[in-house]
């Protein structure tokens, strides 16, 4: 990892909404105020129905555990050996090379791979434009060498409810889910974007991004876990 940032806070036990931190980052980066992140309070149908539509991306914060690391390793090896459906070549995916930058990575992946509107000439709009045609590693280097993103990340990380930690090690990680066209023309796909993986991951046909992502999160991440450190947020119409 090139350097280490302060982890972004997204605390499901906090007495304020987690989207405050994510939206602080997004507004500084250039997301228009009419679009923002909001908490998804549960993964059952009635609670999903409360989420403002249309959902443009879903962001998940989850605890890294020996079990999750074993699943990640097995899945990466399976994809490497057997492949996966062809993915949309215009997907913007960035390899994570900065420790604790997964929050920023998740937000960039969510916004860059949706139709969320950015302010013209904003830092994120310029960054996404510069990413076009570059490899994931070149995009990572671009992120490393753009001090403004480190500053925005630090400001957002410092705006959380809890004090900035002196120990920057964390076992929490962000990933995100977006809808992407299928190059084969078979309809949109749910694609998971996680900078720690070997690339974008096809998660199957997309009929309703929020409902589909909720099922993936239940099946692939929560399962029988007893942890309370999961947090799900959606990118969509702002209700703040």
Q: Which of 233, 240, 237 is nearest to 38 (CA)?
A: 233
Check: CB of residue 111 under 8 Å from CB of residue 31.
yes
As a whole number of angstroms, the distance between CA 124 and CA 28 comes to 9
- What SS3 class is residue 236? strand
Closest CA to 59 of 214, 196, 219: 214
Angstrom distance (rounded) from CA 233 to CA 18: 8
| Closest to 61 (Cα-Cα) out of 45, 29, 39, 46 | 39
Contact 37, 235 (CB under 8 A): yes
CA distances from 218 to 10, 72, 120, 231, 240 (A): 19, 15, 37, 12, 27
Which residue's structure tokens are 């920023």? 104
The catalytic residues are 102, 173
């Amino acid at each position: 990892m090139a350097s280490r940032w302060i982890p972004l806070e997204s605390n499901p036990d906090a007495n304020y909404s987690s989207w405050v931190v994510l939206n602080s980052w997004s507004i500084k980066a250039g997301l228009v105020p009419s679009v923002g992140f909001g908490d998804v309070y549960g993964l059952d149908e009635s609670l999903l129905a409360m989420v403002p539509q249309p959902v443009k991306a879903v962001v998940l914060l989850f605890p890294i555990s020996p079990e999750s690391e074993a699943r990640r390793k097995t899945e990466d090896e399976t994809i490497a050996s057997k492949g996966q459906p062809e993915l949309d070549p215009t997907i913007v995916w960035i390899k994570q090379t900065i420790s604790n930058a997964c929050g920023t990575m998740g937000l960039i992946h969510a916004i860059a791979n949706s139709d969320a509107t950015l302010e013209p000439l904003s830092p994120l709009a310029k960054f996404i434009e510069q990413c076009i045609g570059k490899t994931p590693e070149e995009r990572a280097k671009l992120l490393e060498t753009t001090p403004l993103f480190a500053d925005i990340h630090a400001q957002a990380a410092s705006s959380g409810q809890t004090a900035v930690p002196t120990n920057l090690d964390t076992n929490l990680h962000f990933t995100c889910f977006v809808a992407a066209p299928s190059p084969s023309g078979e309809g949109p796909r749910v694609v998971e974007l996680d900078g720690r993986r070997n690339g974008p991951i096809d998660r199957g046909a997309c009929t309703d991004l929020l409902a589909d992502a909720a099922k993936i999160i239940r099946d692939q991440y929560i399962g029988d876990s007893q942890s309370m450190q999961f947090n799900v947020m959606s990118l969509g119409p702002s209700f703040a």
